[in-house]
Amino acid sequence: MRALKQSKDNKASDVVQSELLMEFFKKNPNRDVSHPEVVDWVTAEYLKRTGKVFRDPDRGIRKLHQTGYLQKIRKGVYRYDPKHFKTRELDDFTSAVKEAIFKRDDYKCVICGRGRKEGFEIHADHIKPKDFGGKATLENGQTLCSQHNFLKKNFKQTETGKRFFIRLYELAKKENNQPLLHFCAQILEVFEKNNINGHIVWKR
């Protein structure tokens, strides 16, 4: 019970801290703000309002940038653009569209097939990323588990696919599963033929 209470307290603290960071940037829109200026204000303001120490403002700033709420101008300098923020919100899936994506994909990751029934967390992912103009539509959505959602965000769609089929190819080779080996080889040959993600080496 104590661990559960501590977890809830930490979550509440995170929300307050992120809201405080956004409050600062909303008071300073369309301005290049240096890292020390943000940290000085939020640590002092958090102490004044809660009597507690804001322990890791750097993590909060990075998270706001990573989730698209802040633009990174250069190292240690961020900008909040209200127009960009509103556009970002419009590009996020609504709850109804998310549910429609999950239902269409049978609540399973389209890459590995793991899903809610097996206890895995699932995410509604943009096939064409928001940063490249991808819309928050059912057609542009797919269900991914946490692992493949993370991989896609780090390696992009085609890179994730190629890495997945290389792993599957190696497994089929190890198990001497000839039909699966042939299937993976055909797909990987298409990558090679079209020079897609050539930096990812497929060892036959």
Alpha-carbon distance of 51 to 91, in angstroms, equals 37
For the 95-193 domain, the top CATH level (class) is: mainly alpha
DSSP secondary structure code for residue 130 in this structure: G
**Least confident piece of the model among 11-15, 21-25, 35-39:** 11-15
Q: Where in the chain is the domain with CATH 1.10.10.10?
A: 2-89
Q: Of the CATH numbers 3.10.50.40, 1.10.10.10, 3.40.50.920, 3.60.110.10, which one belongs to the domain with range 2-89?
A: 1.10.10.10
Q: Please give the model's pTM, rounded to 2 decimal places.
A: 0.44
More confident residue, 50 or 157: 50
Query: For the chain, how far is it from start to end, CA to CA, in angstroms?
Result: 53
Give kind and range of the element (H or E) at residue 169.
helix 146-175
Q: How far is CA 111 from CA 152, 160, 188, 202, in A?
A: 11, 9, 16, 19
Angle subtended at Cα 108 by Cα 15 and Cα 131, rounded to the nearest 5 degrees: 55
Please list the residue range(s) of the chain that carry CATH number 1.10.30. 95-193
Tell me the Cα Rg of the chain.
Answer: 22
Which pLDDT tens digit goes with each residue over 25-61?
Answer: 999 999 999 989 999 999 999 988 888 888 888 888 9
